[in-house]
Structure 1
Amino acid sequence: MDIKVGISSCVNGESVRFDGGHKSNKFASKVLAPYFTYVPICPEVGSGMSVPRPTIRLITNEERIALVDSKDASLDYTDSMVEFSQKTVDRLKETEMCGYIVCANSPSCGMERVKVYSKNSATKNGVGLYTQILMKEMPWLPVEEDGRLSDPVLKENFITRVFCLNDLYKSMDGEPTAGKIIAFHSRYKYTLMSHSTVGYKNLGKLVAKVAEYDINEFFAIYRTQLMQTMTIRASRKNNTNVLMHLQGYFKKELESPQKVELAQIIQDYNQGLLPLLSPITLIKHHLGIHSNEYLAKQSFLNPYPQELRLRYGL
């Protein structure tokens, strides 16, 4: 699969860290690599720093946050980092990049809770300078830290967003049209509902007005709102609501015992007794016998390759 995903070079296994080492992530390198085409970037090396190099950190004087040498704050790397970051992100914006995995806690790449030092203390409330510009300039892009990929919920959410954005790009095939966007949105009805009922309704209202926009302007607006809605993690309550909607498609096809079985499995999932995979597997089984073209196209049933095994613990 040609799914372009940015990644911090050290997380990709390249020896570019301050000590000449790397921070290879097993899930990214072993599990995801067959599906993604990685675009490795090290902002520190890219902005002119050497390997190895002195450590750097973020500092603040309440007026600005700067990137400086950890032992000598007069060695300021802020301007060179910002310049490199802006040029790199401007280039990435012209590509169909579908996600980004950044290095946690890094003063250049960290996504959240990066240490920021002041005169008398340090707080974990910063964002790496490069990633800050990346997220500001590309608000639709799924971004996740390497360490958070060990959390099954965060991991599933990130992968779902990456495949969703890739599906959007492939569906447009380089030329957005109202028809293509409507068809895509129709396939993501239940996926969006599982993430946010409010977001689902707002996107529905937006799509209903597609004819009022320049199509390229509309695509940009839709892409951002779509991906921001997908950032909201799907809840058990919302998933159960979606499963009950899907159950309704079989009310005329299933015999009474089959209806009872499906309802019970959905209820067991709702109570946390079964993973999401269980009711979805049964629904897909019934769908294989009682075909329904609209339901078969719903991304909720197949958001990513099942070989990734992401719904086993949800």
Structure 2
Amino acid sequence: MEKIRIGVSMCLMGEPVRYDGQHKHDSYITGTLSQWFEFVPVCPEYELGLGVPRESMRLEGAPENPRLVTNKTKRDLTEPMLAWCSKRVEELVSENLCGFIFKSKSPSSGMERVKVYQKNGMPVNKGRGLFANAFMERFPLLPVEEEGRLHDPGLRINFIERVFTLMRWREMLGGDSTRGGLVKFHERHKYLIMAHSIPHYRELGRIAAELKGRRLPQVQAEYYAKLVEALRLSATVKKHVNVLQHMAGYFKKQLSADEKQELQELIGQYHDGFVPLIVPVTLINHFVRKYGEDYLTGQCYLHPHPAELQLLNHV
């Protein structure tokens, strides 16, 4: 398939653009993810023209509206950086990004918990990098994450799942942007959404069904905003077990007694933490193919992202 375009902090790609002339190469990003993602690198300080190497800087003042100040000379770079950020995020509109991976703790690119120094010289971990903040305000519905958090299996699968869902959403808009296309998209994502939030699934179903008298672009915008809200919620073991049991119900008549017992045992073992999610999902996929269960064949829950990423092997 065509690679998905993702923004990324330039130093994570191995480019020596940090203040000390070094990089923060992340092999998971440049190795594993690069098989499916095409990266658009961004480095605010370097692109602003501050040079490499350069004086280090930090955020100071109010966490909700901090200043960007160099550590030694106390040069205030806030205004030029904000002007650059405003220009850069507009340039990124044409890149058609499906997400962004930021460099953690950076005063320009940190997504959360960036140190903001107070008058007494002590920091509070309540800030956000100036560029990361500008990007997230300009693209509030795009998936974003930091490289450090991608090492957490739950956060990693949540981010990548949202990226691939956005890709499928854009494919629907580009290929079947009709009322029927929206309903089909909702049906395909039924169990994926339920794994995050049943109330959101019900609300999304209402939005997709109540189309009469409303302009389709307005309905699509409302639907996608609510979908993003749903997928940001954690997909817990309890929620996954509920989805797996729903899927098992499709095979009540087809499965033998031994097959039913095997499936229930694996769901129970997943619930108790003895096997990862991939184990019961693989067996359900086997039954889908064996018994030709058409409705489940199209469910994105069973194939939310490439199997080679092995995301379900660790949750």
TM-score, normalization by structure 1 = 0.95
Indicate how the Cα distance of structure 1 residues 76 and 217 shifts in structure 2: closer, same or farther if over 3 A, else same: farther
Task: State the secondary structure of the residue aligned to 1:116.
Answer: strand
Moved more, 41-50 or 218-227: 218-227
Partner of 1:230: 231
Partner of 1:271: 272
Q: Is the 8 A contact 1:177 1:215 kept in 2?
A: yes
Indicate how the Cα distance of structure 1 residues 61 and 183 shifts in structure 2: closer, same or farther if over 3 A, else same: closer
Partner of 2:313: 312
Q: Is the 8 A contact 1:108 1:130 kept in 2?
A: yes
Q: Is the 8 A contact 1:61 1:119 kept in 2?
A: no
What code does the residue aligned with 2:245 have? M
Moved more, 298-307 or 45-54: 45-54
Partner of 1:113: 113
Partner of 1:84: 84
C-alpha RMSD of the superposition: 1.6
Indicate how the Cα distance of structure 1 residues 190 and 17 shifts in structure 2: closer, same or farther if over 3 A, else same: same
Task: State the secondary structure of the residue aligned to 1:164.
Answer: helix
Q: Does 1:66 align with 2:67?
A: yes
Cα offset, 1:107, TM superposition: 0.4
Cα offset, 1:310, TM superposition: 1.0
What code does the residue aligned with 1:90 have? E
| 5+ long unaligned stretches in structure 1 | none
In structure 2, distance between residues paired with 1:122 and 1:210: 51
In structure 2, distance between residues paired with 1:108 and 1:194: 34
What code does the residue aligned with 2:105 have? N
What code does the residue aligned with 2:103 have? C
Q: Deviations over 1:68-108 (max 9, x none)?
A: 111233x1111122122122222333443111110000000
Partner of 2:52: 51
| 5+ long unaligned stretches in structure 2 | none
User: How many residues are aligned here?
Assistant: 313
Indicate how the Cα distance of structure 1 residues 245 and 224 shifts in structure 2: closer, same or farther if over 3 A, else same: same
Indicate how the Cα distance of structure 1 residues 26 and 210 shifts in structure 2: closer, same or farther if over 3 A, else same: farther
In structure 2, distance between residues paired with 1:50 and 1:267: 57
Q: Is the 8 A contact 1:55 1:69 kept in 2?
A: yes
Q: Is the 8 A contact 2:58 2:107 kept in 1?
A: yes
Q: Is the 8 A contact 2:62 2:116 kept in 1?
A: no
In structure 2, distance between residues paired with 1:83 and 1:123: 25
Partner of 1:281: 282
Alignment of 1:110-259 (within 5 A): 110-120=110-120, 121-173=122-174, 176-259=177-260
Q: Is the 8 A contact 1:5 1:37 kept in 2?
A: yes
Partner of 2:102: 102
Identity over aligned pairs, percent: 40
Q: Is the 8 A contact 1:265 1:279 kept in 2?
A: yes
After superposing on structure 2, the runs of 4+ consecutive aligned residues of structure 1 that deviate more than 3 Å are 61-64, 210-213
What code does the residue aligned with 2:289 have? G
Q: Is the 8 A contact 2:207 2:222 kept in 1?
A: no
TM-score, normalization by structure 2 = 0.95
What code does the residue aligned with 1:84 have? W
Q: Is the 8 A contact 1:112 1:126 kept in 2?
A: yes
Moved more, 301-310 or 200-209: 200-209
Partner of 1:23: 24
In structure 2, distance between residues paired with 1:189 and 1:2: 25
Cα offset, 1:298, TM superposition: 0.4
